[in-house]
Amino acid sequence: MNKQAITGALTEHYSAFVGYINMLSTEDYTYRHHQKWTAAEQLAHIVLCIQPLVQVYGMDKAAIAQNFGTTDRTGHSYDELLDAYQAQLQKGGKAPERFVPDTALTHDRAELTTRLNGQIQELCATINTFEEQELDTLGIPHPLLGKLSLREMLYNAIYHVQHHQAQAQEYLKQKNNSIKVKGFAIVTLDGTLIRFGYYLKDAPVTSGAFAALLPFSRTLFHARISGQEIWTDDVPSLDIIQENASVFTETGEVVFGPAQPARAKTANCMGIYYGEGKGLDCCNIFAKVVDEDLPKLKALGEHIWKSGQQVLTFQSTNE
C-alpha cells in the first residue's frame, strides 16, 4: 500500500470501530465475557496503542533513525504481516502491561472515541510528511514482531483495530447465544397465542435486546404501503447495532428498527409480516413465526386489516 491507501484504510477501519462502539448499549459496552476484555476495554487498548505511533511518526526523521534505527530488508506485504502477527497471537502473545487498559478509565465512552478520532487524524497527517522510501527504510520496534519498517507498523495498525473489533463482536455474540429464552409469543385480545423463534445466529444482539424488553403490550396497526404487515412506532428504544438488516423479508418474520441511525425511516419501529411485503427502510430481521402458528398470524393480520388496530401482548417463551 502507498501512503494514500494506508491513510484511507486507517480512516476507514478506525471510523468503523468507533461507529461500532458508539452503537453499543451501555450493557453491551461494559459486558465481560469469561474474564475477556469488555468492548470498553478494547476501545481503551486501541487508544493506548495508537498514541505512541502518533508520537513517533511526529518526530523528526533523523531522530527516528537515531532512536530506533533503519532497516534494509525487503518489507512484508500487508497479508504477510497479518500472518506473522496472527502466528504470534497463536503462540500466546499478549499485550505488554503498558497497553493493558485501566477499567476505571473506560467509563467516558465519548471522551475515548473523540480522542481516538483525533489520534487517527493526526497520524494520517504525519504519514503524509514522509517520502514513500522513508516508510520502508526507517524502523520502529513492535512488542511481538520485533523491528518493523514504518510502513509495516502501519499495516499492523490497520489490522489491529479490526482484530479487536472482531473480538468485541464475538464476545457479544457469545453473550446473546447464551440466551435461554429461544423465542417469544404474542397474545391477542381473544387469548390466541402466536409463537416466534429468535434468529440467534443471524441477529443475536437484537434478539437479546428484545428479549430483555419483555413483557410489554402495544397497539399494532396495519401498514399502508409496506404490504401485509402489522406494525407500531410506539416501542421501547433499542440503541443497538444494525444486523441482519434489510427491506426484504419473508412471510412470518419480525423486524425492529434500531434507534440509530436516526435518519432511518424505520428507527424505533417494529413490524410483523403475515404475508408479502417490503419495508420502507432497513430493519433488523430477528425472529420468525413458528410454522404451525403461521395460520394464526395470517388470521390476526387480516383481522387488523379490517378493524384497523389491536392491542397485543408480547411475552417470553421457551417453545
- Is residue 282 within a helix (H) or strand (E), and if so which, with residue range? strand 270-289
Are the C-beta atoms of residues 249 and 278 closer than 8 Å to each other?
A: yes
- How confident is the prediction for the chain on average, in pLDDT? 89
159 and 192 fall within a common domain: no
Total residues belonging to the chain: 319
Distance CA 127, CA 38 (A): 31
| Beta-carbon contacts of residue 77 (< 8 Å; ≥ 6 apart) | none
195 and 173 fall within a common domain: no
Residue whose grid cell is 387480516: 302
169 and 201 fall within a common domain: no
* pLDDT tens digits along 116-169: 999 999 999 999 999 999 999 999 989 888 889 999 999 999 999 999 999 898
Name the percent of the chain lying above pLDDT 90: 58
Number of domains in the chain: 2
- Overall pTM surpassing 0.75 (yes/no): no
Model confidence band, residue 311 (pLDDT cutoffs 50, 70, 90): very high
153 and 261 fall within a common domain: no
Cβ burial, residue 163 (10 Å; 0-12/13-18/19+): middle
Higher pLDDT among residues 19 and 240, named by residue: 19
171 and 245 fall within a common domain: no
> Which residues partner with 227 through β-bridges?
277
Q: Is the four-CA dihedral 102, 104, 105, 111 of positive or negative sign?
A: positive
Please give the pLDDT value at position 137. Answer: 93
132 and 23 fall within a common domain: yes
Last residue of a domain, one of 124, 147, 177: 177
Please give the pLDDT value at position 182. Answer: 82
Does the pLDDT at position 176 exceed 70? no
The DSSP 8-state label assigned to residue 61 in this structure reads: H
Are the C-beta atoms of residues 23 and 238 closer than 8 Å to each other?
A: no
206 and 126 fall within a common domain: no
Please give the pLDDT value at position 180. Answer: 56
107 and 145 fall within a common domain: yes
Mean pLDDT of 260-289: 89
CATH of the domain at 222: 2.40.100.20
154 and 58 fall within a common domain: yes
DSSP calls for 124-177: HHHHTTS-HHHHHHBEEEETTTEEEEHHHHHHHHHHHHHHHHHHHHHHHHHHHH
Last residue of a domain, one of 160, 177, 194: 177
Which cell is 234 given? Answer: 410506539
Distance CA 140, CA 198 (A): 49
Single out the residue of 207, 214, 219, 144 nearest to residue 175, CA to CA: 207
167 and 193 fall within a common domain: no
CATH of the domain at 142: 1.20.120.450
Structural domain span for residue 245: 183-317
Cβ burial, residue 32 (10 Å; 0-12/13-18/19+): middle
20 and 64 fall within a common domain: yes
> Which residues partner with 256 through β-bridges?
270, 284
Single out the residue of 85, 80, 119, 117 nearest to residue 1, CA to CA: 80
Pairing of strands 253-256, 183-187: unpaired
Please give the pLDDT value at position 317. Answer: 84
Mean pLDDT lowest for which of 74-78, 175-179, 207-211, 228-232? 175-179
Please give the pLDDT value at position 57. Answer: 94
Does the pLDDT at position 100 exceed 70? yes
Mean pLDDT of 213-238: 91
Please give the pLDDT value at position 221. Answer: 96
Are the C-beta atoms of residues 13 and 20 closer than 8 Å to each other?
A: no
* pLDDT tens digits along 182-206: 899 999 999 999 999 999 888 988 9
Does the pLDDT at position 318 exceed 90? no
Model confidence band, residue 21 (pLDDT cutoffs 50, 70, 90): very high
88 and 221 fall within a common domain: no
Last residue of a domain, one of 132, 148, 177: 177
CA angle 195, 201, 203 (to 5 degrees): 75
> Which residues partner with 101 through β-bridges?
none
Does the pLDDT at position 261 exceed 80? no
Pairing of strands 139-142, 227-232: unpaired
